[in-house]
């Protein structure tokens, strides 16, 4: 059920928009119907409410502010002439995961959802934000992942595999980094990369899974024998909520990406698997 727009919810959404305007220096115009950004189609309050989720019940104001800010920035970027759209995977239940209004599909294993994102400049770097359905509709862009998007993701996965093979035996061996606008959680949606992580350089058919730590979007480790399991959770907590990855290591198979079980004995067994 979509969240309602009762007066308290509407007031909170207005605070979220105004906070984003001040903190991120966005020129916004508010009225009873919605929010307008320069050169953009109007965003309805309902669109922001869908992204924010059940504010006041399951969602706190900080999470709502993050999700509303993401919608505003994505909406503005998508109306720009040079906006780039790329595949995007977001961990389920992450603060930055829109409650509604983002076309996505559940990735096998249940750890993340896969959809499209729009690349938004952030200083000297970039951030990829979920592409709002309302923004895609207003600009005439596809809002859902296509076969072409998946093909591109596989090509990027192949680039990552080539990098891993090149870096074998160096200080960066066992480290995953973003490439081509796709962050590390998104790259795990590439079957080519998952095959390499599971089978290894020797393509061993006997390997069935690999434990991978991805506490934030910009890096991941799959050589966990030298990583304290507690470090993964600590790194996740220390990360900006807008950049968080998976709170626990994930189990990667050729087909799936799933969170490791929470039982301590199971976690220790998984981390010791083939390390």
pLDDT tens for residues 162-199?
999 998 777 777 899 999 999 999 999 999 999 999 98
DSSP H or E stretch at residue 116 = strand 112-122
pLDDT digits 0-9 by tens, 14-41: 999 999 999 999 999 999 899 999 999 9
Percent of the chain with pLDDT over 70: 89
Task: Look at residue 224 and tell me whether its pLDDT is greater than 70.
Answer: yes
Residues 86 and 181 in one domain: no
Is residue 55 in a domain? yes
Query: Which of the listed residues 88, 107, 139 is the one where a domain comes to its end?
Result: 139
Residues 154 and 97 in one domain: no
Is residue 91 in a domain? yes
Query: Which of the listed residues 139, 161, 190 is the one where a domain comes to its end?
Result: 139
Q: pLDDT category, 1, cuts 50, 70, 90?
A: very low
DSSP H or E stretch at residue 257 = strand 257-259
Q: End-to-end CA distance of the chain: give it in Å, rounded.
A: 44
Query: Which of the listed residues 87, 121, 139 is the one where a domain comes to its end?
Result: 139
Using an 8 Å Cβ cutoff, are 188 and 213 in contact?
A: no
Residue span of the structural domain in which 93 resides: 7-139
Is residue 2 in a domain? no
In 3D space, the residue among 209, 207, 211 whose CA is nearest the CA of residue 220 turns out to be 211
Is residue 125 in a domain? yes
* CA dihedral sign of residues 210, 188, 224, 244: negative
């Amino acid at each position: 059920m979509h969240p309602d727009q009762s007066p308290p919810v509407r007031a909170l959404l207005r605070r979220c928009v105004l906070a984003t305007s001040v903190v991120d220096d966005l020129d916004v115009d508010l009225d009873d119907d919605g929010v307008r950004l320069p050169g953009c189609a109007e965003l309805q309050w309902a669109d922001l409410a869908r992204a924010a989720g059940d504010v006041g019940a399951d969602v706190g104001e900080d999470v709502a502010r993050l999700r509303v800010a993401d919608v505003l920035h994505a909406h503005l970027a998508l109306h720009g002439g040079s906006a780039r759209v790329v595949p995007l995977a977001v961990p389920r239940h992450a603060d930055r995961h829109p409650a509604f209004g983002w076309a996505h599909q559940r990735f096998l294993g249940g750890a993340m959802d896969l959809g499209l994102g729009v690349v938004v400049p952030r200083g000297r770097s970039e951030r990829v934000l979920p592409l709002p359905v309302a923004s895609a509709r207003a600009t005439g862009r596809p809002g859902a992942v296509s076969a072409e998007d998946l093909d591109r993701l596989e090509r990027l996965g192949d680039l990552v595999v080539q990098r891993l093979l090149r870096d074998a035996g160096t200080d960066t061996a066992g480290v995953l980094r973003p490439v081509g606008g796709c962050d590390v959680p998104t790259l795990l949606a590439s079957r080519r990369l998952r095959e390499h992580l599971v089978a290894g350089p020797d393509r061993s058919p006997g390997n069935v899974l690999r434990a991978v730590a991805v506490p934030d979007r910009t890096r991941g480790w799959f050589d966990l024998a030298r990583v304290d399991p507690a470090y993964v959770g600590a790194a996740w907590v220390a990360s900006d909520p807008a950049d968080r990855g998976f709170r626990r290591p994930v189990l990667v198979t050729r087909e799936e990406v799933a969170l490791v079980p929470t039982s301590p004995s199971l976690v220790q067994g998984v981390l010791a698997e083939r390390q």
